[in-house]
Amino acid sequence: MLDYLPQEIIARKRDGNALTAKELEAFVAGITSGDVVDAQIAAFTMAVFLNGMTPEEGATLTRAMTNSGRVIDWTRIGLEPGAPIVDKHSTGGVGDKVSLMLAPIVAACGAFVPMISGRGLGHTGGTLDKLESIPGYKTTPSIEAFETCVKMVGTAIIGQTSELAPADRRVYSVRDVTGTVESVPLITASILSKKLAAGLNGLVMDVKVGNGAFMQSMDNARKLSRSIVNVASAAGLKTTAIITDMNEVLGRTAGNAIEVLEAVEFLVSPDKADGQLLEITLVLAAEMLALGSIVKNRTEGYKMARECLFSGRAADKFAQMVHALDGPSDLMENPDRYLKLAPVRMEVLAPHDGYITAMQTRDIGMLIVAMGGGRTRPEDSVDHSVGIDHLVNRGCKVGKGDRLCTIYAKTEDMAEHCRDKLLSFIAVEDTPVEPPASVREIIEGDSNG
């Protein structure tokens, strides 16, 4: 490390230079060992945010972060070489609980889904924060317990342990609070280092676009999608990026426990599911099944995923996973017993007749954070009980006094504050608008065949 001082590496990137493989590997090694402190990580990530990285730098950073810890070999525990080991990763949105339903659906179709998820970043909710609202659920089991759950159940959704991509774990927490979340090279390296460490042979990226996404324009969403599929392809990982709409909260809820409640209802009673949430989940499932060669094409995958969902097999898989990771055995039968909501319940009512034409989705996400449902510092705890429910969709017609959503807050003052904010975040206008398609574009990697 003495040959590559962290401050010199930071300065070179600050000045717009491309870093060598040895410099990047040394910096990542310092992150892993603790020789590089959080302030230096913050400076490095800001330098990358401002100056970007070449494709070669991005690939080197990804490999270094992958190799900073253990890389799982699934054949070691008895899976056949070439077994369909697939996963999905979302770039993050508001109300995005797709992973909770998608993993068990794909597992019910015969694939293995070892899903390593993250916590909330900025205005977006984190899958781990949602799962931690389930009493007892172990989001950081041992690698052995993780492997066993995937082998026996077909899926396990966990967080990064100290053994898998530990360098990324430190960088991830710093990015959340230093204004560097949106950096394409850092997003790419963070996502792929975890996925490569999990031993995948197929990955589907759900790249969100819109006012509730980190990528607010299609040009930026395509840029990130191509960055990910190109780096992944160079690493030999079949990857497809699907760009999906995030101009409104996904589904009817935003929060932690309340999103798990919606996910449970989705799995148990899919006929009642929000239409956009159902469509995006099934499209992603179809692509995962195609990448894993479970089916010949996306059309067959969509049909199989839908059948596994509506038959109840996916709900059974979710229940098995929760119990295998030390959560309650009867969560699906008694979700209200375990998923507690904040005590103050307040409805937000439409101020006049009209149509829901737009949402300030990012602001809604930040409102959840302000309520305690997210973090402003890495060490902050999360209040899993707060959130919003029964949220109307864009395009809906409402009358004066109709419910726009329901708030669950800790105090009356907080609920009233949120009500006033939400009234300014949800547009009710005289003329209806046609919402954009849920799935905007599909971008394939070179190695997808």
CATH number (domain holding residue 403): 3.90.1170.30
Shared-domain flag, residues 48 and 80: no
Query: In the chain, how many domains are there?
Result: 3
Q: Verify that 246 and 310 share a domain, yes or no.
A: yes
Is residue 175 domain-shared with residue 44, that is, in the same domain? no
Known catalytic membership, residue 195: yes
CA–CA gap between residue 24 and residue 186 (Å, rounded)? 13
Residue at 59 is within a domain: no
The answer to whether residue 206 sits within a structural domain is yes
- pLDDT, position 449: 41
Residue ranges, the chain, pLDDT below 50:
447-449
Residue 60 maps to a domain: no
The one catalytic residue among 13, 62, 63, 87: 87
- Does some domain include residue 57? no
Same domain for 140 and 195: yes
Known catalytic membership, residue 70: no
Give the gyration radius of the chain's Cα atoms. 21
**Is 400 noted as a catalytic residue in this protein?**
no
175 is catalytic: yes
In a domain, 117, yes or no: yes
Residues in contact with 448: Cβ distance below 8 Å, sequence separation at least 6, in sequence order? 233, 238, 239, 240, 291
Catalytic one among 119, 123, 175, 384?
Answer: 175
Residue of 169, 194, 317, 375 marked catalytic: 194
Q: Examine the domain organization and report whether 167 and 313 are in the same domain.
A: yes
User: One of 63, 119, 169, 195 is an active-site residue; which one?
Assistant: 195
Q: Which of 68, 90, 161, 239 is catalytic?
A: 90
187 shares a domain with 47: no
Is the residue at 63 inside a domain?
A: no
> With the C-alpha atoms ordered 138, 141, 144, 147, is the resulting torsion angle positive or negative?
positive
Q: Which of 60, 68, 190, 227 is catalytic?
A: 190
Judgement on whether residues 178 and 249 belong to the same structural domain of the protein = yes
What is the per-residue pLDDT across 293-308, written as a single tens digit (0 to 9) for each? Answer: 999 999 999 999 999 9
pLDDT at residue 231, as a whole number: 86
In a domain, 1, yes or no: no
Q: Residue 27: which CATH number?
A: 1.20.970.10
Task: Assign residue 110 a region (left: φ > 0; alpha: ψ between -120 and 50; beta: otherwise).
Answer: left
Question: Is residue 82 located within the same domain as residue 187?
Answer: yes
d(CA 307, CA 313): 9
pLDDT for res 182: 81
Question: Contacts by 36-42 with C-beta closer than 8 Å and gap 24+?
Answer: 36/6, 38/170, 38/174, 40/6, 40/7, 40/10, 41/170, 41/171, 41/174, 42/174, 42/178, 42/180
pTM exceeding the 0.75 threshold for the entire prediction = yes
For residues 202 and 345, state if they share a domain: no
Same domain, 17 and 88: no
Domain range for residue 417?
340-429
> 84 — alpha (psi -120 to 50), left (phi > 0) or beta?
beta
In a domain, 136, yes or no: yes
Let me know if 127 is a catalytic residue. Answer: yes
Catalytic residue list contains 194 = yes
226 is an active site residue: no
Question: What pLDDT is recorded for position 56?
Answer: 87
Q: Check whether residue 221 and residue 349 sit in a common domain.
A: no
Task: Give the domain CATH number at 122.
Answer: 3.40.1030.10
Rounded to an integer, what distance in angstroms lies between the CA atom of residue 407 and that of residue 399?
A: 19
Catalytic residue among 127, 183, 193, 225, which? 127
Same domain, 292 and 418: no
